[in-house]
């Protein structure tokens, strides 16, 4: 079965290898969502930087994961209650501790919270996966307009854990999106209902499947073309396994890429790549790059 990174013509999905997503930058070593973390990941030759956006009090988008400031900065309270200029006065490296250390080596080193429009133009050769964290109903329209003005539409994918936000975003933009949580659940249910029939269909294929074939299959299974290009999902939820070789085969048969988060163990990375996954989110991009190169050299794919 062909991978979506090989046959999907959508510019964000198609690549010369499964997408290597640097989760909030090189975040195992450097404070997440900072310029330093993004630069370090960029220099590693990753494919995509994953980040999150919250909307400020003055309707700017900042690259920041949490709704509140305490975990990573020396600030307090909600991101949405601050203006961009106020947020820039905070220390974004204040609470970062390297694994196994009791020190705070990035305090007072000038690490800042940055706006979306500051960062995207600085990294023109890399994709960005943007998660809408803001629940402000105006955020999707404003984000769509900003991404259009920045001219980055072909190298961005937008997702959200808020189903209404991703549906709103699609009304204002043709940028690639991942499935929202309700769409992921529906997709899983379709897999459980169709997997036996799909297995027979996979076995009956005597030639490589084309992307046109996958869209026809998508319409057959779902009754329509899907509004998203990928599922960005964990390997499992509690004790329930989500991502399996059969699930990936099913997704590929209906033209959907599978991107798995957040994987930091080399053996799990290797397993997923051998299962033909389309992308992996990791806090440790160096490890993932090394695993991919080793598999290429040993022809284990």
End-to-end CA distance of the chain: 13
Angle at 222 between CA 221 and CA 225, to 5 degrees: 115
Last residue of a domain, one of 133, 159, 176: 176
Distance between CA atoms of 160 and 181, rounded to whole angstroms? 8
Residue 63, beta-bridge partner list? 53
**Nearest of 91, 137, 130, 95 to residue 113 by alpha carbon:** 91
Q: What is the pLDDT of residue 209?
A: 80
Q: What is the pLDDT of residue 194?
A: 83
127 with 270, same domain?
Answer: no
| Farthest-apart Cα atoms in the chain, separation | 62
95 with 217, same domain?
Answer: no
What is the count of structural domains for the chain? 2
187 with 257, same domain?
Answer: yes
**Nearest of 60, 54, 59 to residue 73 by alpha carbon:** 54
Mean pLDDT to the nearest integer, 185-200? 83
Per residue in 158-180, pLDDT (tens digit) is 999 999 999 999 999 999 999 99
Distance between CA atoms of 259 and 245, rounded to whole angstroms? 13
Percent of the chain with pLDDT over 90: 86
69 with 107, same domain?
Answer: yes
Mean pLDDT to the nearest integer, 207-221? 87
Mean pLDDT to the nearest integer, 184-200? 84
Quick one: CA torsion of 35, 28, 261, 49, rounded to 10 degrees?
20
189 with 116, same domain?
Answer: no
38, pLDDT greater than 80: yes
Mean pLDDT to the nearest integer, 225-250? 93
Last residue of a domain, one of 176, 203, 232: 176
Stated as kind and residue range, the H or E segment containing 192 is helix 181-204
Average pLDDT, the chain: 94
Q: Residue 100: exposed, middle, or buried by beta-carbon count in 10 A (0-12, 13-18, 19+)?
A: exposed
Residues ≥6 apart with Cβ < 8 Å to 216: none
Q: What is the pLDDT of residue 121?
A: 96
Q: Which domain holds residue 73?
A: 19-176
Per residue in 100-158, pLDDT (tens digit) is 788 999 999 999 999 999 999 999 999 999 999 999 999 999 999 999 999 999 999 99
Q: pTM score, two decimals?
A: 0.95
Per residue in 52-79, pLDDT (tens digit) is 999 999 999 999 999 999 999 999 999 9
172 with 131, same domain?
Answer: yes
> CATH number of the domain that 170 lies in?
3.20.20.190
Check: CB of residue 41 under 8 Å from CB of residue 300. Answer: no
Q: What is the pLDDT of residue 205?
A: 57
Residue with tokens 């961009």: 84
């Amino acid at each position: 079965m062909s991978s979506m990174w090989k046959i999907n013509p959508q510019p964000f999905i198609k690549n010369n290898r499964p997408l290597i997503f640097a989760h909030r930058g090189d975040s195992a070593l450097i404070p997440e969502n900072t310029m330093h973390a993004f630069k370090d990941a960029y220099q590693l030759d990753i494919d995509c930087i994953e980040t999150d956006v919250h909307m400020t009090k003055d309707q700017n988008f900042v690259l920041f994961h949490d709704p509140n400031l305490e975990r990573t900065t020396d600030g307090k309270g909600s991101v949405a209650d601050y203006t961009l200029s106020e947020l820039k006065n905070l220390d974004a490296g204040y609470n970062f501790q390297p694994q196994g250390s009791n020190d705070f080596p990035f305090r007072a080193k000038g690490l800042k919270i940055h706006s979306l429009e500051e960062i995207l133009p600085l990294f023109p050769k890399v994709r960005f996966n943007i998660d809408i964290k803001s629940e402000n109903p105006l955020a999707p329209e404003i984000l769509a307009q900003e991404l259009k003005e920045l001219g980055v539409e072909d190298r961005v994918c937008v997702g959200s854990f808020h189903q209404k936000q991703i549906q709103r975003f699609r009304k204002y933009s043709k940028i690639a999106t991942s499935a929202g949580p309700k769409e992921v659940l529906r997709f899983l249910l379709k897999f459980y209902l169709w997997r036996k029939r799909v297995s027979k269909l996979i076995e009956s294929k005597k030639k490589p499947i084309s992307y046109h074939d996958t869209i026809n299959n998508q319409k057959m299974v779902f009754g329509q073309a899907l509004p998203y290009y990928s599922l960005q999902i964990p390997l499992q939820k509690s004790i329930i396994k989500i991502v399996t070789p059969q699930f990936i085969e099913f997704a590929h048969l209906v033209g959907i890429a599978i991107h798995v988060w957040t994987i930091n163990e080399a053996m799990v990375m290797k397993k997923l790549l051998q299962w033909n996954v389309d992308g992996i989110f990791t806090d440790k991009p160096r490890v993932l790059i090394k695993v991919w190169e080793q598999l290429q050299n040993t022809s284990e794919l």
